[in-house]
Amino acid sequence: METLVLTNKAGLKWELLRTDAGWSFGTIAINGNPIEKPLTDGLLALRDLKSGALHWMKASKAEKTGPQTVDFSGKEVIDGVNFTFAVSASLCADVPAAFWKTSWKVDKDLKGWELCLTYHEGFNNDWRVQSYPWAGNSEKSDIAPMRYCGVPGMLVYRPDQSMVMLFAIDSNSDYLNPNTWTGNTEFHFANHQMAPQYRIACDLSAGINYEMTLQLVVSDAGEFAGAITNILQGWMKLSGYRVDDSLNVRTPQDAFDIVLDGHREMKSWKPGIGYEHHKGTPFVYVGNNPYIAWFEYLLYEITGEEIWRNRAFEQIDFALKGQQPGGVFHTSWYFIKSERTDGDVAEGFCSYDWMHDGYKVDLNVWMARYILQVWRRVKEKEGVDRQDWYKAAIASLEWVLSQQNPDGGLPQCVEIKSGEKSISTVCGRALVGLPIIAEITGDSRYLRLSADMERFLRKNVEGRFWYTGMHPDLPPGDFEQDSIYAVVEYWLDKHDRMKDKESLDRAVANAHYALLYWCPKQLSWVKSPTQCAHSEQQSFNQYSVYCYGNRKIQCLDRLFRKTGNPLFEKLKNRIMQLNFYIQVVDGPYRGAMTEAIADPWLERKGGFEWRGNPYTSELVTDLMLQLIEMKLVKNNVSVK
């Protein structure tokens, strides 16, 4: 038995193994600790599609071509076809990362097999995988084909986070292109049964030189913030990741002016009620009324136009009409009867959100927060004390306090008839809003609930890489990306209050973690910009770019100012311009924002450049409030 050993300055060691039959991958270790059992069967395998049996292939030749690189080659006959392969295995010099380029070709067409690529066989440890939006905290995952990922890979980790790895396809390649063979790439894993593996699930054709480079970035930091920051910084260095700063759609002021001009006459405005949720919908999302009212009261201060003050007051007044005797607010109002899969929704107030019924806890905190902010602002600016607003907000919050789950978190929804609570989720609007509410009211109970939610966040969200619940119109287990930036905002706000290093470290780590969900580059087959776009959610897979109930752009600006890391400033500018790209600039919905920027895998059946419906309410508010608060528009107001 013979070995070739590669080491680097970051503590990684790769011990490649030769037996009488040839060369295998052997063992990868970090700081003396093997990641898993060694791979002794070979360098790659062909899987029989009928039987599922693996035919492993060992290399017959090996040559150390650099201090941290070994090149292997081999050839076998499969079903009468000459299968030739080469593997170049390397370590980064100063990053805890291994990468290997596998190339293969056949002299005749080969059918009935798929190629498998992995880095170990057998198990000594428990593992979980995460790949947005298909697998989260998963003991088993079969993604066939892979699509709608950000970084094209999997986060592979032990449940205690003692070892965390990014197992990814090199994003510099034309990965997962549905028009080529790479669009047939799959991922499979089952804890203690099947090692994480990529499969090329296509018949092999003669005359094609197939090639795939895989990366394994490793951290043994043992906890969320250190592991994620180390891995993503390592991945960026390994991949040469750069933010494309060439996109320049319009200035923030121009985007702001488009909204002002469009919203004055927008047909989706329902006088005395609020904004139609988006084009063609029969309801107003009343849960956003106070949020939009806060934005429009600031517009009144900026412009002096009474229309914005009137709309702000009307939206809060109407939201109060949906408050129930127990204090909870209904979050929807249908202005015509609407059909749904399990019956009809009658005209009027309800808490039905796209086939997901129940009182929405997170949205009630959201509503109460912005009612209180408008109440305080109006009182300070005009001397008008709308106690009916204040009392309604407090009543809603009393209901919220009574809904806390035993794990310290808040349920995403509560069943209306039975009062049964869902599992706890991030509840990002509440996470950010409760300290603000405590400051306005002086009531320490909201800080205690916030502290409980932070404990839940550390253990069950960051501790499991499992972010759910930001979309109140979907079940509480829906895996989504928007709550990540609510978490970033929470930690930044806490750092503002406490000046503690840990809060900033966690904000930075969550911002890095979000990169796993974002497309890392311009996809070759899509015309619309794709870098930093993300799959919206599990149920509606398309590439979106908006901020949904969070301050993503503003958080990136704050991160840059606190850390000096230019990555965050470049990401801020990129995300802002992407949001300007999806603005509707003419027609009856001028000033709205489309729900998508592209559909790279044609799941919405409208072509690669599919944009979807124009949204007229919360997405616009999400963007415009950030521009105001970042002082990027003229006639700035001072916002607390």
* C-alpha to C-alpha distance for 132 and 101, rounded to whole angstroms: 24
Please indicate, yes or no, if residue 609 is contained in any of the structural domains: no
Two tokens, residue 546: 């908006």
pLDDT at 267: 87
Per-residue pLDDT tens digits for 160-178: 999 999 999 999 999 999 9
> Which residues, 6 or more positions from 282, have their beta carbon under 8 angstroms from its beta carbon?
334, 335, 336, 337, 338
Q: Which of 85-99, 399-413, 538-552 has the lowest mean pLDDT?
A: 538-552
Two tokens, residue 566: 């230019």
What stretch of H or E contains 454? helix 445-456
Rounded to an integer, the average pLDDT of 252-262 is 97
Per-residue pLDDT tens digits for 466-501: 999 999 888 999 899 999 999 999 999 999 999 999
Q: To 10 degrees, what angle do helices 361-382 and 387-401 make?
A: 150
User: Nearest 5°: CA angle at 465, between 464 and 466?
Assistant: 85
Q: Which residue has the tokens 């950010």?
A: 432
Inter-residue contact 14 to 78 (CB < 8 Å): no
* Secondary structure string (H, E, C) spanning 85-142: EEEEEEECCCCCEEEEEEEEEECCCECCEEEEECCCCCCCCCCEEEECCCEEEECEEE
Task: Identify the domain containing residue 155 by its residue range.
Answer: 2-239
Per-residue pLDDT tens digits for 123-161: 999 999 999 999 999 999 999 999 999 999 999 999 999
Rounded to an integer, the average pLDDT of 570-574 is 98
Please indicate, yes or no, if residue 15 is contained in any of the structural domains: yes
What stretch of H or E contains 169? strand 164-169
* C-alpha to C-alpha distance for 469 and 537, rounded to whole angstroms: 10
52: left (phi over 0), alpha (psi -120 to 50) or beta: left
Q: Which among 259, 272, 369 is positioned nearest to 617, based on CA atoms?
A: 259
CATH number at residue 56: 2.70.98.10
CA distances from 98 to 17, 57, 358 (A): 16, 20, 48
Q: Which residue has the tokens 């919203």?
A: 263
Give Dmax (Cα) for the chain. Answer: 88
Please indicate, yes or no, if residue 527 is contained in any of the structural domains: no
Burial of 544 (0-12, 13-18, 19+ CB in 10 A): buried
Two tokens, residue 427: 């509840």
Please indicate, yes or no, if residue 555 is contained in any of the structural domains: no
Per-residue pLDDT tens digits for 181-229: 999 999 999 999 999 999 999 999 999 999 999 999 999 999 999 999 9
What stretch of H or E contains 135? strand 135-138
Please indicate, yes or no, if residue 149 is contained in any of the structural domains: yes
* C-alpha to C-alpha distance for 474 and 85, rounded to whole angstroms: 46
Please indicate, yes or no, if residue 170 is contained in any of the structural domains: yes
The domain total for the chain is 1
Rounded to an integer, the average pLDDT of 30-43 is 97
Per-residue pLDDT tens digits for 520-562: 999 999 999 999 999 988 877 899 999 999 999 999 999 999 9
Please indicate, yes or no, if residue 573 is contained in any of the structural domains: no
pLDDT at 309: 98
3-state DSSP assignment of residue 347: coil
Q: Which among 339, 327, 337, 486 is positioned nearest to 414, based on CA atoms?
A: 327
Residue 341 has pLDDT above 60, yes or no: no
Q: What is the pTM of this model?
A: 0.97
* C-alpha to C-alpha distance for 440 and 438, rounded to whole angstroms: 6
Please indicate, yes or no, if residue 478 is contained in any of the structural domains: no
H-type alpha helices, 154-251: 224-239
Task: Please give the radius of gyration of the chain, using alpha carbons only, rounded to the nearest integer.
Answer: 27
* C-alpha to C-alpha distance for 273 and 275, rounded to whole angstroms: 7
> Which residues, 6 or more positions from 548, have their beta carbon under 8 angstroms from its beta carbon?
470, 471, 482, 618, 619, 622
* C-alpha to C-alpha distance for 299 and 489, rounded to whole angstroms: 24
pLDDT at 539: 79
3-state DSSP assignment of residue 631: coil
pLDDT at 343: 65
* Secondary structure string (H, E, C) spanning 225-284: HHHHHHHHHHHHHHHCCCCCCCCCCCCHHHHHHHHHHHHHCCCCEECCCEEECECCCCEE
* C-alpha to C-alpha distance for 136 and 408, rounded to whole angstroms: 21
> Which residues, 6 or more positions from 501, have their beta carbon under 8 angstroms from its beta carbon?
none
* C-alpha to C-alpha distance for 30 and 13, rounded to whole angstroms: 6
Per-residue pLDDT tens digits for 223-252: 999 999 999 999 999 999 999 999 999 999
pLDDT at 339: 74
